[in-house]
Amino acid sequence: MLARRQLRPGFWLVFWREIDWLRRRPFLFAFVGVVPLALMALLTGIFSAGLATRLPIAVLDLDSSDLSRSIIRMVDATPDTAVAFRAGELAEGRGMILSGKVHGLLMLPLNLERDVFAGRRPEVVFFYNTQTLTTGNLTLRGVNAAVPTAAAGIRLSLRTAQGQPIEEARAAISPIPVQIHALFNPTLNYVHFLLAALLPSLLQIVIVAASAYAVGMDVETRYRLRILRRLGGGLWPAMAGKLLPYTVIFMLVLGVSDAVLFGILELPLQGRSWLLVIAGFLFILSCQLLGTLLALLLRSTTSAVSIATLLTSPAFGFMGIGFPRLGMNAFSLGFGALLPGTWYLTARIDQTVRGNPLDLSWRPILILLAFAVGLAGLVALRLEWMRANAARDAGGAPKAVLSEAGS
Amino acid sequence: MSELLAVFLGEFRRIFALRPVFSVLVVGSVFYAVFYPQPYLNEALRNVPIAIVDGDGTVTSRELARRVDATADVAVTMVLPDIVNAEREVLSRTIFGILVIPKNFERDLLHGRASPIALYADASYFLVYQSVSGGVVAVARTLAAEAETARLIGMGVDPVLAGTASDPLRLTAVPLFNPQGGYATYVLPGAFVLLLQQILLMGVGLLGTLPGADPGITATDGSRPGPLATVGGKMLAYLLFEAFILPLYLIALPYFYGLPRLGGVVPILILAVPFVLSVSGLGLVVAAIFRSPLRVQLVLATIGLPFFFLAGFAWPTEVIPDAIHVVSLMVPSTSAIGGFTRLAQLGATLADVRSELLMLWGLAIFYGGVACILQFRERRRYARNAQTVAA
């Protein structure tokens, strides 16, 4: 380290000082390097099942006929649902939903089989818990697939009983089949989609807060800012040297996690990985500059970190992963647009699942570039303003500077 | 007892006296109450734009397009000549689905042959896919039932029987508790519980790491209250504070945002007591581990998001690996989110959430106990240091 210390003031001096600083502050190093990866490992573990299958539902079979039993078998056989309990009466089934044991209750009425073949159109009722929206809808999907299949069998037999040829009957029972193609995500697997979006959301919090913290330590007082400037041989090299070590660490964190996601878990990577890297770099830089700007504007490290976490920790909802931006009100659209993460996630979805052609890939990346340039400009303006202030104060009231330096 | 009271009063005063704590617990609570729900307030996606590629151009195909446009889920905003053009529009996010009606759609339908249509729906966003496919499939199903009934009547079948034959077994799906399937109704009750926990953890963490973290020291002889009185007094102070904030989040805000609530207020408050105590205890432990206000803030800010996915709310508990689930029970929100949601939104009784209630009481006792032990050790270290200084 001695050789490095003898370097002339400049970018590298601040750069190595920062790395030295990180080595002496294990907490900060853990926060920027280990915490995001550990949380990512936890989330990967939570979602390791891949798809939510065989969700428990209860059945209330009041008919106990061949038909009702075959419907229950079909419902149990769909990948989405599993018949976990038999309820003796409606109240018992309701209790199971309320205590969280099952997500739904399928009720097969008395005389189901008899009424079907007498043409009385009996009603099979599925009560499902939509308070947990995704889970509830998945159980409905299972029942929705199984019961019409059973009904189609009956329709087919009603027609063939009337003497219609089976092929004709089969065409007749579904006159307008809808062939649904799920673009970009044929298996409808949202776990991977969610997982791939969660790390950037966590990183956004970590980067903005850590930058506010690290820069805040050096600019909290004018005295410390002046030291930083002297070490860097100017404000620009000093700031660059201050931020670059973290940029490298965050790129590594993103790289490791993406290597796991795309390399080991084999998430789709339909687009261009070099665009993904560019977008990731601009995203990290924008977040760092946002944190830096907060630290420069607020001066106190505690306030800067508070505001940084206040803005970024609830940001997940605004970035349109769970509930798409398409359906948001004007305020949320506006706030979401001001988050670098929103555009990084857009670019990420473009380059991972959608595989956009090159000419349709640039928009989010150019927006991220504009963020980086714009925030760098604001940081520059603020720094110049602070320097001008300091110079004026130093000329006008030397006492004040002395007292601050002493404090 | 007087020690406990002194700590209690001292700590309650510090909540309002220390600026960072006041900003987190009071200003933060109010800010998040307004800010956090914003993205979800529209509840559902309406009129997701899609394109139609009509290769048939007949009365029936236009009728299908018109009916699709009329649904609440989707809106037909473009009519495009071919699928290649339409796919580019999907990639540039101007539309989110393509409905292709092939040539001879009407003719096949009238001839009694299967007359398929194709839907290409953007599945890169879950809700978008659900809206587009749900809207189009429902319309196709109605149109198909009409066509089939008409055909059967044409064959000379009695109209009532024709209806039966096309739909012999009705499936009625009854969504419980969130009948519109609204996204705000789904996500906010759980999110409010998590916000309460994170804000209180942050507040307690700051109170325990900022200067003056040992209230209740008597001015006369400088003696410190015992560990039990310190921890108990502090936890009671947080409980008193939450007596104002928790009803705001779990009763007033849901009412204000129009979220249905079936359960009574009393069971919610009964579950709230062990919830607040366990979070307070955890906060005291967090403060003792991290020992600096900045570290407390940094760590707690990042960990909220994973906590949400552990609660079995966005992702069902049944498919979370057991090992992770068991460890996650150490976090109060894992039990509390399900417990409060079932009490308030589902109208469950306290008996239905017995396991959550017991779990939270267990955590309250456990973290309170750990906090006491940490206090005790800290006092012993302090006394030893004082001895060495005296010697």
pLDDT digits (tens, 9 = 90+) for A231-250: 877 788 888 888 999 999 99
Note whether A160 and A239 are same-domain residues: no
Residue A344 forms contact with B (CB below 8 Å): no
Note whether B29 and B63 are same-domain residues: no
Note whether B63 and B35 are same-domain residues: no
Q: Find, in chain B, the residue whose alpha carbon is nearest to that of A162.
A: B157
Note whether B228 and B358 are same-domain residues: yes
Which whole number is the average pLDDT over A319-335?
89
pTM: 0.88
Strands A55-61 and B97-101, sheet pairing: unpaired
Distance from C-alpha of A77 to C-alpha of B139, rounded to nearest angstrom = 28
List of chain B residues whose C-beta atoms are within 8 Å of the C-beta of residue A155 = 165-166, 168
Per-residue model confidence (pLDDT) at position A399: 45
Domain boundary among B141, B166, B191: B166
- Packing angle, helices A190-219 and A340-349, rounded to 10: 150
Note whether A229 and A365 are same-domain residues: yes
Nearest-CB residue to B302 (from A27, A184, A202):
A202
Q: Find, in chain A, the residue whose alpha carbon is nearest to that of B140.
A: A176
The strand order across the sheet containing B117-122 reads A178-183, B117-122, B97-101, B48-54, B74-79
Note whether A211 and A325 are same-domain residues: yes
Classify residue B225 by its DSSP letter.
Answer: P
Calculate the average pLDDT of chain B: 87
Range of the domain at B58: 48-166
| Cα distances (Å, whole numbers) of residue B298 to A34, A313, B205, B342 | 13, 10, 11, 32
A133/B32 CB distance under 8 A: no
Pull the structure tokens for residue A331. 């305020």
List of chain A residues whose C-beta atoms are within 8 Å of the C-beta of residue B306 = 39, 42-43, 46, 202
Residue A240 lies in a domain: yes
Note whether B230 and B367 are same-domain residues: yes
Residue B306 forms contact with A (CB below 8 Å): yes
Note whether B56 and B151 are same-domain residues: yes
Residue B219 forms contact with A (CB below 8 Å): no
Pull the structure tokens for residue B256. 């204000």
Residue B175 lies in a domain: no
Note whether A42 and A63 are same-domain residues: no
Per-residue model confidence (pLDDT) at position A205: 93
Note whether A198 and A334 are same-domain residues: yes
Note whether A101 and A228 are same-domain residues: no
How many residue pairs bridge chain A and chain B with CB atoms within 8 Å of each other? 326
Residue B78 lies in a domain: yes
List of chain B residues whose C-beta atoms are within 8 Å of the C-beta of residue A98 = 342, 346-349, 352
Note whether A304 and A375 are same-domain residues: yes
Note whether B187 and B335 are same-domain residues: yes
Residue A109 forms contact with B (CB below 8 Å): no
What's the CATH number where B122 sits? 3.40.1710.10
The string of pLDDT tens digits covering residues B20-43 is: 889 889 999 999 999 999 999 888
Nearest-CB residue to A323 (from B36, B92, B127):
B127
Q: Answer for the pair A100, A83: CB distance below 8 angstroms, yes or no.
A: no
Q: How far is A51 from chain B (nearest CA, A)?
A: 8
Residue A28 lies in a domain: yes
Residue B352 forms contact with A (CB below 8 Å): yes
Nearest-CB residue to B114 (from A55, A171, A183):
A171
Instruction: Please tell me whether the interface predicted TM-score (ipTM) of this complex is above 0.85.
Output: yes
Distance from C-alpha of A144 to C-alpha of A126, rounded to nearest angstrom = 9
Nearest-CB residue to B178 (from A46, A133, A202):
A133
Q: Answer for the pair B175, A130: CB distance below 8 angstroms, yes or no.
A: yes
Note whether B210 and B233 are same-domain residues: yes
Note whether B215 and B134 are same-domain residues: no
The string of pLDDT tens digits covering residues B344-353 is: 988 888 988 9
B316/A140 CB distance under 8 A: no
Residue A313 forms contact with B (CB below 8 Å): yes
Residue A178 lies in a domain: no
Distance from C-alpha of A163 to C-alpha of B24, rounded to nearest angstrom = 75
Note whether A207 and A327 are same-domain residues: yes
Note whether A40 and A66 are same-domain residues: no
Q: Find, in chain B, the residue whose alpha carbon is nearest to that of A351.
A: B91
Residue A91 forms contact with B (CB below 8 Å): no
B175/A130 CB distance under 8 A: yes
The string of pLDDT tens digits covering residues B302-345 is: 888 889 888 878 788 888 888 888 898 999 999 999 899 999 98
A180/B116 CB distance under 8 A: no
Q: Find, in chain A, the residue whose alpha carbon is nearest to that of B171.
A: A124
Residue A102 forms contact with B (CB below 8 Å): no
With 50 as the cut, is the pLDDT of residue A398 above it?
Answer: no
A151/B161 CB distance under 8 A: no
Q: Answer for the pair B97, B53: CB distance below 8 angstroms, yes or no.
A: no
Distance from C-alpha of B257 to C-alpha of B87, rounded to nearest angstrom = 38
Model confidence at B217, pLDDT cuts 50, 70, 90, reads low
| Cα distances (Å, whole numbers) of residue B375 to A315, A326, B142, B196, B208 | 36, 51, 69, 25, 11
With 70 as the cut, is the pLDDT of residue A354 above it?
Answer: yes
Note whether B278 and B359 are same-domain residues: yes
Which whole number is the average pLDDT over A212-230?
82
Domain boundary among B120, B138, B166: B166
Domain boundary among A113, A139, A173: A173
| Cα distances (Å, whole numbers) of residue A54 to A232, A243, B137 | 61, 49, 24
Note whether B238 and B107 are same-domain residues: no
Note whether A41 and A21 are same-domain residues: yes
Per-residue model confidence (pLDDT) at position A405: 38
Domain count, chain A: 2
* First-last CA distance in chain A: 30
Residue A119 forms contact with B (CB below 8 Å): yes
B88/A127 CB distance under 8 A: no
Neighbours of A242 (CB within 10 A): 26
With 60 as the cut, is the pLDDT of residue B220 above it?
Answer: no
Strands B117-122 and A178-183, sheet pairing: parallel
List of chain A residues whose C-beta atoms are within 8 Å of the C-beta of residue B304 = 313
Residue B242 lies in a domain: yes
- Return the top range by mean pLDDT from A61-75, A161-175, A299-313, A362-376: A362-376
Domain boundary among A173, A200, A235: A173
Residue B177 lies in a domain: no
What's the CATH number where A60 sits? 3.40.1710.10
Which whole number is the average pLDDT over B175-186?
83
Residue B174 lies in a domain: no
Residue B176 lies in a domain: no
Question: Which residues of chain B from 57 to 96 reach within 8 Å of chain A, CB to CB?
Answer: 87-88, 90-92, 96
Q: Answer for the pair B291, B209: CB distance below 8 angstroms, yes or no.
A: yes
Domain count, chain B: 2
* First-last CA distance in chain B: 33
Least confident window among B161-165, B228-232, B342-346: B161-165
> Which amino acid, residue B16?
F
Least confident window among A302-316, B160-174, B243-257: B160-174
Which whole number is the average pLDDT over B184-194?
91
Note whether B235 and B382 are same-domain residues: yes
Classify residue A261 by its DSSP letter.
Answer: I
Note whether A303 and A240 are same-domain residues: yes
B349 φ/ψ angles, rounded to the nearest 5 degrees: -95, 170
Helices then strands, each counted (H, E), chain B? 16, 5
Distance from C-alpha of B99 to C-alpha of B137, rounded to nearest angstrom = 11
Question: Which has the closest alpha carbon to B270: B193, B199, B331, B361?
Answer: B361
Note whether A290 and A198 are same-domain residues: yes
Domain boundary among B166, B201, B224: B166
- Is residue A357 left, alpha or beta, with left meaning phi > 0 and alpha meaning psi from -120 to 50? beta
List of chain B residues whose C-beta atoms are within 8 Å of the C-beta of residue A353 = 124
Note whether B126 and B18 are same-domain residues: no
Range of the domain at A235: 2-46+189-406
With 90 as the cut, is the pLDDT of residue A364 above it?
Answer: yes
